[in-house]
Amino acid sequence: MKLALVVALAGTLCLVWGDALGNTCASFDLPDPEVVDGEGRIIEIERRVLWGESYCKELTLDQLNGKTPKLCVRNENPKDKAPTGCLRLSLRHVDPAMIKELRVGIHPDCSSIPTEVKDKFQRRRNATKLTPGKKMGAIRICFDEIPAASTCCETEQCLVFEAIVEVAGVDTKVTIKDDACSSDEGCPYSIGCPNLINEANKDCVPGCALDIWNGTNSNDLFIVSEDEVNDAYLGLFKGYDVVIGSEGTEIINNEYYGGDGSTLFLKGGNDEVQMGPEEEKIYFGKGDDFAESIADGLQDRIYGGEGVNQAKGTFDIDDILKNMALGQ
Ligand SMILES: [Ca+2]
Ligand SMILES: [Ca+2]
Ligand SMILES: [Ca+2]
């Protein structure tokens, strides 16, 4: 009886305590991962993970040295084959020496952003408080800082950003300039909870020197580690898929399946992508890379990076190709 009362009291206290402290995106359990791959084989996936959208937005700042300044949002580089749970926001084409202050916040809803600066922006960085040797080009925010009343898995949140940049000797407040954002500078920001696939999960036929990584028919996050000996062959299947590649070779097959889109960060190595009928963003790095496209009526973006890069197949007129030569 006494024990039950203590447990009940502790439960109530926890609820009150939880409310007082405020729950965050990191407070809620994520759904169980998928149990079969896109071929219907049973595979072991340990868990889902929170993963933020990647995008770049223009700023209320004129061109600097002929380039358009942008804010780019990325998930931090994974550590130990898993996401860190934090996002990194960096200013492109702005000299870090010009940046006086950076502020970022993410809230559940663009219509109810707190007005007080300290509540509106969960993270703030000021140039006057920098440790020596550090630069002001970027700021981070983590899922355990984003207030949440329920799970953030597959939700659209609201991102707010401000910077103070010294332009021609004058401290200037800079915000995001984008049609998709609301007047008080809130931008829609999606948070997903893909299956984390961080190891090969299917044997290749004997004598084959590829490691096969099969995805599921839902959203997957593939993280290929740098210590892979063989080339990695990845089948993404359906869903919205993200691949964090390695400095080695990734061969991506998206040709037959299609899905809700994919974003591929393939880094170095001679990487190859057979593109599918979906909206694809491909960031190749160093190395001689190859993409084969099909015209699907959706805007794809293919960035070749360094090296001799080639694109083949059919394209839509609004596809963006950078550092990619068109082959036959
Ligand atoms: Ca998938
Ligand atoms: Ca690679
Ligand atoms: Ca390249």
Start-to-end CA span in the chain (Å): 79
Using the Cα atoms of residue 96, residue 110, residue 33 and residue 209 in order, give the sign of their dihedral.
Answer: negative
d(CA 44, CA 116): 46
Q: Which ligand is nearest to the CA of 220?
A: 1
Output the pLDDT for position 1: 44
In a domain, 203, yes or no: yes
Q: How many domains would you assign to the chain?
A: 2
244 Cα: distance to centroid of ligand 1 (angstroms):
14
In a domain, 252, yes or no: yes
Please check the confidence at residue 242 and state whether its pLDDT lies above 70: yes
Please check the confidence at residue 323 and state whether its pLDDT lies above 70: yes
- 10-44 burial code (b ≥16 CB/10 A, e <16): eeeeeeeeeeeeebbbebeebeebbeebbeeeebe
Q: Note whether 230 and 210 are within 8 A (CB).
A: yes
pLDDT class of 184 with cuts at 50, 70, 90: low
Q: Are residues 144 and 223 in the same domain?
A: no
Of 148, 173, 192, the residue that ends a domain is 192
- Measured torsion, CA atoms of residues 218, 221, 226, 230, in degrees rounded to the nearest 10: 10
In a domain, 23, yes or no: no
Which tokens go with 278? 């979906």
4 Cα: distance to centroid of ligand 1 (angstroms):
46
Q: Are residues 75 and 141 in the same domain?
A: yes
pLDDT class of 149 with cuts at 50, 70, 90: very high
Of 172, 192, 212, the residue that ends a domain is 192
Q: Are residues 183 and 206 in the same domain?
A: no
219 Cα: distance to centroid of ligand 3 (angstroms):
26
pLDDT class of 11 with cuts at 50, 70, 90: very low
pLDDT class of 247 with cuts at 50, 70, 90: very high
284 Cα: distance to centroid of ligand 3 (angstroms):
5
237 Cα: distance to centroid of ligand 2 (angstroms):
19
In a domain, 105, yes or no: yes
d(CA 186, CA 31): 28
In a domain, 8, yes or no: no
Q: Are residues 199 and 313 in the same domain?
A: yes
312 Cα: distance to centroid of ligand 2 (angstroms):
19
Q: Are residues 218 and 288 in the same domain?
A: yes
In a domain, 300, yes or no: yes
Which tokens go with 161? 């950003």
d(CA 307, CA 321): 14
pLDDT class of 284 with cuts at 50, 70, 90: very high
pLDDT class of 266 with cuts at 50, 70, 90: very high
Which of 61-65, 131-135, 188-192 is most confident?
188-192
Q: Are residues 171 and 224 in the same domain?
A: no
Cβ atoms within 10 Å, residue 201:
16
Q: Are residues 81 and 183 in the same domain?
A: yes
Q: Are residues 309 and 233 in the same domain?
A: yes
Residues at Cβ < 5 Å from ligand 2 ion: 245, 250, 266-267, 269, 271
**DSSP string over 35-63:** SB-TTS-B-----B--EE--EEEEBSS--
16 Cα: distance to centroid of ligand 3 (angstroms):
54
In a domain, 36, yes or no: no
Of 132, 158, 192, the residue that ends a domain is 192
Q: Are residues 202 and 174 in the same domain?
A: no
Q: Are residues 200 and 312 in the same domain?
A: yes
pLDDT for 201-218, tens place per residue?
A: 998 888 888 999 999 999
What residue type is 272 in one-letter code? E
Please check the confidence at residue 183 and state whether its pLDDT lies above 80: no
268 Cα: distance to centroid of ligand 3 (angstroms):
7
User: Checking phi first, is residue 241 left (phi over 0); if not, alpha (psi -120 to 50) or beta?
Assistant: beta
170 Cα: distance to centroid of ligand 2 (angstroms):
43
Structural domain boundaries enclosing 138: 51-192
- Measured torsion, CA atoms of residues 220, 226, 230, 234, in degrees rounded to the nearest 10: 10
pTM: 0.89
In a domain, 4, yes or no: no
39 Cα: distance to centroid of ligand 1 (angstroms):
11
Output the pLDDT for position 272: 98
Q: Are residues 124 and 207 in the same domain?
A: no
Q: Which ligand is nearest to the CA of 216?
A: 1
304 Cα: distance to centroid of ligand 3 (angstroms):
5
Q: Which residue has the tokens 């630069």?
A: 135
Report the percentage of the chain scoring pLDDT > 90: 80
Which tokens go with 55? 């995008």
Please check the confidence at residue 4 and state whether its pLDDT lies above 90: no
Q: Are residues 59 and 101 in the same domain?
A: yes
222 Cα: distance to centroid of ligand 1 (angstroms):
9
